[in-house]
Amino acid sequence: MQAARLEDGTLEIQDVPTPVPGHEEALIRISAAGVCHSDLHLARGDWVGVPTSGGIGHEAIGEVVALGPGAERYSAVGDRVILGLGGTGGGYWCGACEYCMRGEPRHCEQTLGIIGTFAEEFCVYAKSLVKLPDNVGDEEAPLACGGLTAYGAGKKLLKHHIQPGRAVAIIGAAGGLGHYAVQIASSFGYKVVGVDIGAERLQFIESLGAHLAVDAADAEEVVQRELGGVDAAIVFSARMAGFNLGLKLLRRGGLFVAVGLPATSEGNLELNPFEFFFKDPTLIYSAVGNVQDMRELVDMAAAGQVKSHIGRVGKLSELGAVFDELEAGKYVGRAVITDLSG
Protein backbone atom coordinates (compact mmCIF):
# COMPACT_ATOMS: atom_id res chain seq x y z
CA MET A 1 0.00 0.00 0.00
CA GLN A 2 1.00 3.66 -0.43
CA ALA A 3 1.91 5.80 2.57
CA ALA A 4 3.64 9.14 3.21
CA ARG A 5 6.67 9.02 5.47
CA LEU A 6 9.38 11.35 6.64
CA GLU A 7 12.95 10.13 6.20
CA ASP A 8 15.36 12.45 8.04
CA GLY A 9 13.06 15.35 7.32
CA THR A 10 12.40 14.48 3.68
CA LEU A 11 8.83 13.67 2.67
CA GLU A 12 8.54 10.46 0.65
CA ILE A 13 5.61 8.45 -0.75
CA GLN A 14 6.54 4.81 -0.18
CA ASP A 15 5.14 1.37 -0.86
CA VAL A 16 4.85 -0.25 2.58
CA PRO A 17 3.23 -3.45 3.96
CA THR A 18 -0.43 -3.31 4.97
CA PRO A 19 -0.57 -3.25 8.80
CA VAL A 20 -2.24 -6.02 10.80
CA PRO A 21 -4.56 -4.97 13.66
CA GLY A 22 -3.39 -5.98 17.12
CA HIS A 23 -5.29 -6.30 20.41
CA GLU A 24 -8.33 -3.96 20.46
CA GLU A 25 -7.24 -2.40 17.16
CA ALA A 26 -9.21 -1.85 13.96
CA LEU A 27 -7.79 -1.69 10.44
CA ILE A 28 -9.20 1.31 8.58
CA ARG A 29 -9.26 1.78 4.81
CA ILE A 30 -8.84 5.54 4.62
CA SER A 31 -11.03 7.51 2.23
CA ALA A 32 -9.91 11.02 3.23
CA ALA A 33 -7.13 12.46 5.36
CA GLY A 34 -6.96 16.05 6.56
CA VAL A 35 -3.82 18.17 6.36
CA CYS A 36 -3.11 19.88 9.68
CA HIS A 37 -0.67 22.69 10.36
CA SER A 38 1.02 20.34 12.82
CA ASP A 39 1.84 18.06 9.88
CA LEU A 40 3.59 20.99 8.22
CA HIS A 41 5.59 21.69 11.38
CA LEU A 42 6.66 18.03 11.48
CA ALA A 43 7.61 18.02 7.80
CA ARG A 44 9.67 21.19 8.25
CA GLY A 45 11.34 20.06 11.49
CA ASP A 46 10.06 23.17 13.27
CA TRP A 47 9.82 21.64 16.73
CA VAL A 48 13.12 20.90 18.42
CA GLY A 49 13.23 17.38 19.90
CA VAL A 50 10.43 15.97 17.72
CA PRO A 51 11.50 13.05 15.47
CA THR A 52 11.96 13.85 11.77
CA SER A 53 11.46 10.27 10.57
CA GLY A 54 8.34 8.08 10.52
CA GLY A 55 4.69 8.25 9.50
CA ILE A 56 2.80 11.50 9.15
CA GLY A 57 -0.86 12.54 9.31
CA HIS A 58 -3.30 12.27 12.20
CA GLU A 59 -6.87 13.01 11.04
CA ALA A 60 -8.93 10.81 8.75
CA ILE A 61 -12.23 9.23 7.78
CA GLY A 62 -12.48 5.67 6.55
CA GLU A 63 -14.13 2.26 6.78
CA VAL A 64 -13.35 -0.52 9.24
CA VAL A 65 -12.15 -3.49 7.17
CA ALA A 66 -10.70 -5.80 9.85
CA LEU A 67 -10.62 -6.16 13.63
CA GLY A 68 -7.98 -7.39 16.02
CA PRO A 69 -8.75 -9.48 19.12
CA GLY A 70 -11.15 -7.67 21.47
CA ALA A 71 -11.93 -4.83 19.06
CA GLU A 72 -15.35 -6.25 18.21
CA ARG A 73 -16.66 -4.76 21.49
CA TYR A 74 -16.10 -1.25 20.14
CA SER A 75 -16.49 -1.40 16.39
CA ALA A 76 -17.69 -3.56 13.51
CA VAL A 77 -16.42 -4.31 10.03
CA GLY A 78 -18.17 -1.95 7.63
CA ASP A 79 -18.47 0.95 10.10
CA ARG A 80 -17.65 4.33 8.59
CA VAL A 81 -15.62 6.18 11.19
CA ILE A 82 -13.60 9.27 12.00
CA LEU A 83 -10.23 8.79 13.67
CA GLY A 84 -7.45 10.88 15.11
CA LEU A 85 -8.58 12.61 18.31
CA GLY A 86 -6.05 15.29 17.47
CA GLY A 87 -3.23 12.75 17.26
CA THR A 88 -2.02 13.31 20.82
CA GLY A 89 -3.46 10.65 23.10
CA GLY A 90 -5.74 9.08 20.51
CA GLY A 91 -3.78 5.85 20.04
CA TYR A 92 -4.26 4.36 23.49
CA TRP A 93 -5.11 5.28 27.08
CA CYS A 94 -5.39 3.14 30.20
CA GLY A 95 -8.87 4.29 31.22
CA ALA A 96 -8.21 3.96 34.95
CA CYS A 97 -5.69 6.63 36.02
CA GLU A 98 -6.66 10.02 37.47
CA TYR A 99 -6.23 11.73 34.11
CA CYS A 100 -8.33 9.22 32.18
CA MET A 101 -11.03 9.31 34.85
CA ARG A 102 -11.37 13.08 34.54
CA GLY A 103 -11.51 13.04 30.74
CA GLU A 104 -7.89 13.97 29.98
CA PRO A 105 -6.45 10.76 28.48
CA ARG A 106 -3.62 12.56 26.68
CA HIS A 107 -1.96 13.01 30.09
CA CYS A 108 -2.16 9.28 30.89
CA GLU A 109 1.30 7.78 31.47
CA GLN A 110 0.43 4.96 29.06
CA THR A 111 -0.99 7.21 26.35
CA LEU A 112 0.01 6.71 22.73
CA GLY A 113 -0.56 9.10 19.85
CA ILE A 114 -1.95 8.59 16.36
CA ILE A 115 0.43 9.29 13.50
CA GLY A 116 0.49 7.91 9.97
CA THR A 117 -2.96 8.50 8.45
CA PHE A 118 -1.55 9.65 5.11
CA ALA A 119 -1.81 6.05 3.99
CA GLU A 120 -4.23 3.75 2.22
CA GLU A 121 -4.82 1.74 5.40
CA PHE A 122 -4.08 2.36 9.06
CA CYS A 123 -4.47 0.50 12.37
CA VAL A 124 -5.96 2.37 15.31
CA TYR A 125 -7.19 1.77 18.87
CA ALA A 126 -10.85 0.83 18.36
CA LYS A 127 -12.01 2.69 21.50
CA SER A 128 -11.00 5.96 19.87
CA LEU A 129 -13.24 5.53 16.83
CA VAL A 130 -16.46 7.49 16.38
CA LYS A 131 -19.05 6.21 13.93
CA LEU A 132 -20.29 8.74 11.39
CA PRO A 133 -23.82 9.36 10.14
CA ASP A 134 -24.31 9.38 6.37
CA ASN A 135 -24.78 13.16 6.19
CA VAL A 136 -21.25 13.85 7.47
CA GLY A 137 -19.15 13.52 4.32
CA ASP A 138 -15.54 12.53 3.81
CA GLU A 139 -14.61 16.21 3.41
CA GLU A 140 -15.13 16.51 7.17
CA ALA A 141 -11.98 14.50 7.93
CA PRO A 142 -10.31 17.61 9.46
CA LEU A 143 -12.88 17.53 12.26
CA ALA A 144 -10.70 14.74 13.71
CA CYS A 145 -8.08 17.25 14.84
CA GLY A 146 -8.78 20.79 13.66
CA GLY A 147 -12.44 20.64 14.58
CA LEU A 148 -11.90 18.71 17.79
CA THR A 149 -9.16 21.06 18.95
CA ALA A 150 -11.41 24.07 18.35
CA TYR A 151 -14.30 22.32 20.10
CA GLY A 152 -12.16 21.49 23.14
CA ALA A 153 -11.04 25.12 23.38
CA GLY A 154 -14.64 26.33 23.07
CA LYS A 155 -15.80 24.09 25.90
CA LYS A 156 -13.20 25.63 28.20
CA LEU A 157 -14.92 29.01 28.00
CA LEU A 158 -17.84 27.92 30.13
CA LYS A 159 -15.57 25.83 32.35
CA HIS A 160 -13.74 29.05 33.21
CA HIS A 161 -16.96 31.03 33.73
CA ILE A 162 -17.10 32.92 30.44
CA GLN A 163 -20.84 33.05 29.91
CA PRO A 164 -22.62 32.97 26.52
CA GLY A 165 -23.26 36.47 25.23
CA ARG A 166 -19.81 37.69 26.23
CA ALA A 167 -17.17 38.77 23.69
CA VAL A 168 -14.57 36.20 22.64
CA ALA A 169 -11.68 36.89 20.25
CA ILE A 170 -10.53 34.15 17.89
CA ILE A 171 -6.96 34.89 16.76
CA GLY A 172 -6.29 33.22 13.41
CA ALA A 173 -10.01 32.96 12.74
CA ALA A 174 -9.76 32.18 9.02
CA GLY A 175 -7.31 29.33 9.51
CA GLY A 176 -7.73 25.59 9.56
CA LEU A 177 -8.66 25.55 13.26
CA GLY A 178 -9.89 29.09 13.75
CA HIS A 179 -12.72 28.81 11.21
CA TYR A 180 -14.16 25.95 13.27
CA ALA A 181 -13.86 28.00 16.46
CA VAL A 182 -15.85 30.87 14.96
CA GLN A 183 -18.71 28.49 14.15
CA ILE A 184 -18.54 26.63 17.46
CA ALA A 185 -18.32 29.70 19.69
CA SER A 186 -21.16 31.33 17.74
CA SER A 187 -23.28 28.19 18.18
CA PHE A 188 -22.53 28.32 21.91
CA GLY A 189 -23.94 31.86 21.99
CA TYR A 190 -20.75 33.94 22.29
CA LYS A 191 -20.16 37.29 20.58
CA VAL A 192 -17.28 36.29 18.31
CA VAL A 193 -14.54 38.69 17.24
CA GLY A 194 -12.59 37.06 14.41
CA VAL A 195 -9.03 38.31 13.91
CA ASP A 196 -6.87 37.54 10.88
CA ILE A 197 -4.93 39.28 8.11
CA GLY A 198 -6.25 40.56 4.77
CA ALA A 199 -9.61 41.50 3.27
CA GLU A 200 -10.30 38.05 1.79
CA ARG A 201 -9.86 36.35 5.15
CA LEU A 202 -11.98 38.94 6.94
CA GLN A 203 -14.81 38.42 4.44
CA PHE A 204 -14.54 34.68 5.04
CA ILE A 205 -14.78 35.22 8.80
CA GLU A 206 -17.88 37.36 8.36
CA SER A 207 -19.46 34.60 6.25
CA LEU A 208 -19.01 32.21 9.18
CA GLY A 209 -21.23 34.37 11.37
CA ALA A 210 -18.71 36.36 13.42
CA HIS A 211 -20.04 39.44 15.21
CA LEU A 212 -16.94 41.37 14.15
CA ALA A 213 -14.07 40.61 11.75
CA VAL A 214 -10.96 42.74 12.15
CA ASP A 215 -7.44 42.78 10.74
CA ALA A 216 -4.72 41.93 13.24
CA ALA A 217 -3.03 45.29 12.60
CA ASP A 218 -6.14 47.15 13.75
CA ALA A 219 -7.50 44.67 16.29
CA GLU A 220 -6.27 46.25 19.52
CA GLU A 221 -7.65 49.71 18.66
CA VAL A 222 -10.95 48.45 17.21
CA VAL A 223 -11.70 45.93 19.95
CA GLN A 224 -10.94 48.36 22.76
CA ARG A 225 -13.04 51.07 21.11
CA GLU A 226 -16.00 48.86 20.17
CA LEU A 227 -16.07 46.46 23.11
CA GLY A 228 -13.67 47.66 25.77
CA GLY A 229 -11.74 44.43 25.37
CA VAL A 230 -12.85 40.80 25.22
CA ASP A 231 -13.65 38.39 28.04
CA ALA A 232 -11.60 35.63 26.41
CA ALA A 233 -9.06 35.27 23.61
CA ILE A 234 -8.45 31.91 21.94
CA VAL A 235 -5.19 31.93 19.97
CA PHE A 236 -4.91 29.54 17.03
CA SER A 237 -2.09 31.47 15.39
CA ALA A 238 1.23 29.65 15.16
CA ARG A 239 3.07 32.95 15.61
CA MET A 240 4.12 34.57 18.86
CA ALA A 241 2.69 37.83 17.51
CA GLY A 242 -0.74 36.19 17.72
CA PHE A 243 -0.14 35.19 21.34
CA ASN A 244 0.89 38.72 22.25
CA LEU A 245 -2.13 40.19 20.48
CA GLY A 246 -4.48 37.84 22.34
CA LEU A 247 -3.15 39.09 25.67
CA LYS A 248 -3.54 42.73 24.59
CA LEU A 249 -7.19 42.27 23.64
CA LEU A 250 -8.24 40.92 27.05
CA ARG A 251 -10.31 42.83 29.56
CA ARG A 252 -9.12 42.75 33.17
CA GLY A 253 -9.59 39.27 34.59
CA GLY A 254 -10.02 37.77 31.10
CA LEU A 255 -9.26 34.24 29.94
CA PHE A 256 -6.36 33.53 27.58
CA VAL A 257 -6.55 30.16 25.80
CA ALA A 258 -3.44 29.12 23.87
CA VAL A 259 -4.00 26.55 21.12
CA GLY A 260 -1.42 27.22 18.40
CA LEU A 261 2.06 25.71 18.63
CA PRO A 262 4.60 28.14 17.14
CA ALA A 263 7.91 26.89 15.78
CA THR A 264 10.67 26.72 18.38
CA SER A 265 12.47 29.50 16.48
CA GLU A 266 9.60 31.86 17.37
CA GLY A 267 10.93 32.03 20.93
CA ASN A 268 9.00 32.09 24.20
CA LEU A 269 5.89 33.77 25.50
CA GLU A 270 7.01 36.65 27.70
CA LEU A 271 4.97 38.42 30.38
CA ASN A 272 5.62 41.78 31.97
CA PRO A 273 5.02 41.12 35.70
CA PHE A 274 3.44 44.54 36.28
CA GLU A 275 1.02 44.12 33.34
CA PHE A 276 0.30 40.58 34.49
CA PHE A 277 -0.55 41.91 37.94
CA PHE A 278 -2.65 44.76 36.57
CA LYS A 279 -4.71 42.71 34.08
CA ASP A 280 -4.86 39.55 36.25
CA PRO A 281 -5.68 37.15 33.39
CA THR A 282 -6.19 33.39 33.58
CA LEU A 283 -3.77 31.65 31.21
CA ILE A 284 -4.43 28.09 30.03
CA TYR A 285 -3.47 25.80 27.17
CA SER A 286 -6.07 23.77 25.31
CA ALA A 287 -5.09 20.71 23.29
CA VAL A 288 -7.43 18.47 21.30
CA GLY A 289 -10.21 16.63 23.14
CA ASN A 290 -11.43 13.18 24.14
CA VAL A 291 -13.63 10.63 22.40
CA GLN A 292 -16.83 12.01 23.98
CA ASP A 293 -15.94 15.48 22.68
CA MET A 294 -15.55 13.92 19.23
CA ARG A 295 -19.02 12.37 19.46
CA GLU A 296 -20.51 15.74 20.44
CA LEU A 297 -18.73 17.50 17.57
CA VAL A 298 -19.96 14.90 15.08
CA ASP A 299 -23.49 15.57 16.33
CA MET A 300 -22.97 19.30 15.69
CA ALA A 301 -21.69 18.58 12.18
CA ALA A 302 -24.66 16.30 11.47
CA ALA A 303 -26.98 19.10 12.63
CA GLY A 304 -25.32 21.60 10.28
CA GLN A 305 -23.84 23.73 13.07
CA VAL A 306 -20.21 23.11 12.06
CA LYS A 307 -18.83 22.64 8.56
CA SER A 308 -15.30 22.30 7.23
CA HIS A 309 -14.28 24.88 4.69
CA ILE A 310 -12.06 23.04 2.22
CA GLY A 311 -9.64 25.28 0.36
CA ARG A 312 -7.57 22.52 -1.24
CA VAL A 313 -8.17 18.91 -2.30
CA GLY A 314 -5.40 16.66 -3.56
CA LYS A 315 -3.89 13.22 -4.03
CA LEU A 316 -1.28 11.62 -1.78
CA SER A 317 1.38 12.32 -4.40
CA GLU A 318 0.57 16.05 -4.10
CA LEU A 319 1.11 16.21 -0.34
CA GLY A 320 4.41 18.05 -0.66
CA ALA A 321 2.80 20.72 -2.83
CA VAL A 322 -0.10 21.02 -0.40
CA PHE A 323 2.40 21.64 2.43
CA ASP A 324 4.11 24.36 0.35
CA GLU A 325 0.77 26.06 -0.32
CA LEU A 326 -0.24 25.85 3.35
CA GLU A 327 3.05 27.43 4.37
CA ALA A 328 2.53 30.24 1.84
CA GLY A 329 -1.08 30.85 2.97
CA LYS A 330 -2.47 30.16 -0.51
CA TYR A 331 -5.81 28.84 0.70
CA VAL A 332 -8.16 29.46 3.60
CA GLY A 333 -9.72 26.71 5.68
CA ARG A 334 -8.44 23.15 5.34
CA ALA A 335 -6.83 20.82 2.81
CA VAL A 336 -7.93 17.22 2.40
CA ILE A 337 -6.19 14.31 0.66
CA THR A 338 -8.98 12.32 -0.98
CA ASP A 339 -6.96 9.83 -3.04
CA LEU A 340 -4.57 7.88 -0.83
CA SER A 341 -3.52 5.46 -3.58
CA GLY A 342 -1.50 7.79 -5.73
pLDDT digits (tens, 9 = 90+) for 46-89: 888 888 888 999 999 999 999 999 999 999 999 999 998 877 77
Question: d(Cα 15, Cα 131) in Å, to the nearest integer?
Answer: 29
Q: What is the pLDDT of residue 137?
A: 97
Whether residue 276 sits in one domain with residue 155: yes
Print the domain residue range for 267: 150-285
Instruction: Report angle CA 109, 260, 135 to the nearest 5 degrees.
Output: 85
Whether residue 137 sits in one domain with residue 99: yes
**What phi and psi values does residue 27 have, to the nearest 5 degrees?**
-95, 125
Lowest-pLDDT range of 184-193, 264-273, 298-307: 264-273
Whether residue 187 sits in one domain with residue 121: no
pLDDT tier at 332, thresholds 50, 70, 90? confident
Whether residue 127 sits in one domain with residue 12: yes
Whether residue 161 sits in one domain with residue 272: yes
Taken as a whole, the chain contains a residue count of 342
% the chain with pLDDT above 90 = 84
DSSP letters of 147-159?
HHHHHHHHHHHHH
Total of domains in the chain: 2
pLDDT tens per residue across span 303-328: 999 999 999 999 999 999 999 999 99
Whether residue 216 sits in one domain with residue 161: yes
- What's the one-letter identity of residue 85? L
Task: Return the CATH number at 182.
Answer: 3.40.50.720
% the chain with pLDDT above 70 = 100
Question: d(Cα 240, Cα 262) in Å, to the nearest integer?
Answer: 7
89 or 257, which is more confident?
257
Question: d(Cα 211, Cα 293) in Å, to the nearest integer?
Answer: 25
Report the DSSP pairing between strands 212-215 and 191-196.
Answer: parallel
Question: d(Cα 151, Cα 225) in Å, to the nearest integer?
Answer: 29
Q: What is the pLDDT of residue 156?
A: 96
Question: d(Cα 149, Cα 312) in Å, to the nearest integer?
Answer: 20
Task: Return the CATH number at 103.
Answer: 3.90.180.10
> Around Cβ 328, how many Cβ atoms within 10 Å?
8
